[in-house]
Amino acid sequence: MKPAFYHCISRVVDRRLAMAGDEKEKMRTFMRMYENFSGCRAVSYCLMSNHIHLLLEVPPMAQGGLSDEELLKRLRAIYNEAFVAEVAKELAEARQQVKNGLADEAVVVLRIHERFTYRMHNLAEFMKGLLQRYTQWHNRTHSRTGTLWEDRFKSVIVEDGAAAKAIAAYIDLNPVRAGMAKDPADYRWSSYGEAIGGGPKGNGRKARAGLVRALRAHKGVAADASLWANDVSREYRKILMAGAVEKWEARVNPDGSAETTLNRKGMSAAEAEREKERAGELSMGKMLRCRVRYFTDGAVIGSRSFVNEAFAQARERFGPKRKDGARKLKGVASGAAGTLWSMRDLRKDVGESRT
């Protein structure tokens, strides 16, 4: 079964700057809390001043559900100890009733589990819980009331492999696109910044584990921070920094197509030849440093076969004239054309996005 990844975006209402440094730390804390509670995983993330990006993996619930011990452990991620103690007492009493033959396990025990597990391994519930938790804290802190986020969060289904790598890098490059950092490693409130510099506890293990999963899930590799060193970290760094090579210049043509050209000034013929071999890699890198609407509005991003499979599963949502799902990337996203495909054909302003 292929991993389920989603690029999720949520924006603060009226584009208010609702997250300064300390507030971003609080949002990251809440994000980790809800990871531990829900079983979902943020494999890549970036917390900006007025919006957030998450590349979330949503694994299925383990076959057979959770043990009582695992349920209580997850509850401790977002509830206080007194509340968890009450649930533990309730479970113990229910188990005793089953043991004494006074009740059916499915009636007394599983119903206790179901009060909480319906919010686990669920994309919508993860985002709802995270955004509501931050809103409550933010409103108390700033003596305000009302909603903090625009409408419902947006999400795009992302295939593992090339698509997950590209979206993870696109997310970590947010502060570079916004002009807040030249190197994504310098931005603390992102998966790469945390992986390199450490998080609130200074170790960055969660971020490194997430990025390992983003880059290696298609090979069946688990989220293991110990695998970050060497090959994975070098590969990701190469993806992030490819577009920063100043010898290459990106431009958008009048027809909306994009191209990457080599600035040969001061280069020997041998150097120029070596750089030409990197054209495809650098074209992708340049693209990731642009705002790409496909990555926020494309509905499904991945290989042609992956997008077509998603289209087939949702065929009833499309008109009879639509024959397949995969749409070629255009405009500034053309650097990934042929590698990545989109469910939506964004005909206008394909290079524009607010995030």
pLDDT digits (tens, 9 = 90+) for 200-221: 666 899 999 999 999 999 999 9
Q: Which residues of 138-162 are buried (b: 16+ CB within 10 A; e: fewer)?
A: beeeeeeeeebbbeebbbbbbbbbb
pLDDT at 251: 46
pLDDT tens across 62-79, in order?
999 999 999 999 999 999
Cα separation, 124 vs 295, in Å, equals: 19
Mean pLDDT of 77-98: 95
Pick 257 or 162 by higher pLDDT.
162
Q: What predicted TM-score, i.e. pTM, was given to this entire model?
A: 0.86
Q: What is the mean pLDDT of residues 156-173?
A: 97
Answer yes or no: are the C-beta atoms of 170 and 183 closer than 8 Å.
Answer: no
Q: What average pLDDT does the structure give for the chain?
A: 87
Residue 7 or residue 269, greater confidence = 7
CATH of domain 5-60+122-244: 3.30.70.1290
Per-residue CA distances from 35 to 43, 104, 119, 120, 157 (Å)? 10, 32, 11, 9, 19
What confidence category does residue 250 fall into, taking pLDDT thresholds of 50, 70 and 90? very low
Rounding to the nearest 10 degrees, give the CA dihedral for residues 206, 208, 214, 218.
-110
- Is the pLDDT assigned to residue 337 strictly greater than 70? yes
For CA atoms 330, 333, 339, 343, give the dihedral sign: negative
pLDDT at residue 30 in the model: 97
Q: How far is CA 84 from CA 97, 323, 348, 355, in A?
A: 20, 52, 52, 39
Give the tens place of pLDDT for each residue, 300-325. Answer: 999 999 999 999 999 888 888 888 89
Domain ranges, ordered by start, for the chain: 5-60+122-244, 68-117, 248-342
Share of the chain above pLDDT 90, in %: 65
Neighbours of 257 (CB within 10 A): 13
245 confidence band (pLDDT: 50, 70, 90): low
Rounded CA gap, 121 and 130, in Å? 14
Residue 199: band (very low, low, confident or very high) from pLDDT cuts 50, 70, 90 = low
The DSSP bridge pattern shows strands 5-11 and 51-57 to be antiparallel
